[in-house]
Structure 1
Amino acid sequence: MTTVTSPMAGRAIGLSAVPDPVFAGAMVGPGTAVDPVRGPAEAVAPVDGVVVSLHPHAFVVVDPDGHGVLVHLGIDTVQLNGVGFETLVNKGDTVTRGRPVVRWNPAAVEAAGKSPICPVVALEATRESLSEVAEDGAVTVGTLLFSWR
């Protein structure tokens, strides 16, 4: 079983509360979302694994069992063209849970007119394959967001 932990501090809100129909409808995959604490922050790896995709606003880590986890920093933040985001690892790097991957500022994202809400999605999964999904309540870095069996 893979446990996926929060890449940032904030509040778990569930995917259905994400202000984007693709994420809210779990079209990318099931999971949850975190409304992050405002201010400068680092998004960390939610699992041990390899960074297989890395953009300033999003990254995917695949764990040793082949489970891919997408962390998307805000909604429509690709439109910011990387401004306000700093990648701290490289694609292909092996990371451990909790290692900083991207430095960013959710308050600056919000000031730019974008939602700072962060979907954390189990790629190529079904809702039935997840358990213990956090959909409300405060989370800190490392809090369990969901388990994947």
Structure 2
Amino acid sequence: MTLRVLSPVAGTVVPLSEVPDPVFAQAMVGPGLAVDPDRTAGDAVAPVDGTVVTLHPHAFVVATEGGAAVLVHLGIDTVQLKGEGFTLHVVKGEAVRAGQRVVSWDPAAVEAGGKSPVCPVVALDAQAEALVEVRESGPVAAGEPLFTWQR
């Protein structure tokens, strides 16, 4: 099975190793990429078709029918914001389509609050070599491919 994983936000692609959090930077939860988001308020969208299996204001996981799960984390240490500045548009257990709005947020407000707004996008429980067609760097729009996950 081949799964195209889309960017949940518009911004600039950065390697996961540059995320200012060792859990993500060392790929402890899985391989992937990060997106340094544009500093405009907007929406984070689902990276794949599937079911929302985990949902917090600052993070969500979408699992596909085939069992692949993709984590999107909106900023680093944003759990400390206790949901402030985040608006959920789906509920846990809801089926979503790739590109569908999941959370609205304001990366500039996150940054102004002293947190990094960078967004890790992680293929949970994957091997690094399973990710191909990985976007190396540069600008990306929400809904554009970040990488392909071969399962």
TM-score (norm 1): 0.98
CA displacement at 1:54 relative to structure 2: 0.1
What is the one-letter code of the residue matched to 2:23?
A: V
The aligned counterpart of 1:123 is 124
The aligned counterpart of 1:88 is 89
CA displacement at 1:141 relative to structure 2: 1.2
Secondary structure class of the residue paired with 2:126: coil
The aligned counterpart of 2:42 is 41
Secondary structure class of the residue paired with 1:13: strand
What is the one-letter code of the residue matched to 2:40?
A: G
The aligned counterpart of 1:110 is 111
What is the one-letter code of the residue matched to 2:94?
A: D
2:101 and 2:86 map into 1 onto residues whose CA distance is 12
- The Cα RMSD (Å) is 0.6
Unaligned runs of 5+ in 2: none
Structure 1 stretches of 4+ with a deviation exceeding 4 A read none
- Counterpart contact for 1:33–1:135, Cα < 8 Å: no
CA displacement at 1:132 relative to structure 2: 1.4
CA displacement at 1:135 relative to structure 2: 3.2
The one-character-per-residue Cα deviations of 1:75-132 (angstroms, maximum 9, x if unpaired) are 0000000000011100000000111000000000000000000000000101011111
What is the one-letter code of the residue matched to 1:22?
A: V
The aligned counterpart of 1:138 is 139
- Counterpart contact for 1:75–1:116, Cα < 8 Å: yes
Secondary structure class of the residue paired with 1:107: helix
The aligned counterpart of 1:15 is 16
Q: Pick which of 128-137 and 84-93 moved more.
A: 128-137
What is the one-letter code of the residue matched to 1:41?
A: G
Secondary structure class of the residue paired with 2:110: helix
1:2-81 equivalent positions in 2, closer than 5 A: 2-81=3-82
TM-score (norm 2): 0.97
CA displacement at 1:65 relative to structure 2: 1.4
Number of residues paired by the alignment?
149
What is the one-letter code of the residue matched to 2:71?
A: L
What is the one-letter code of the residue matched to 1:24?
A: A
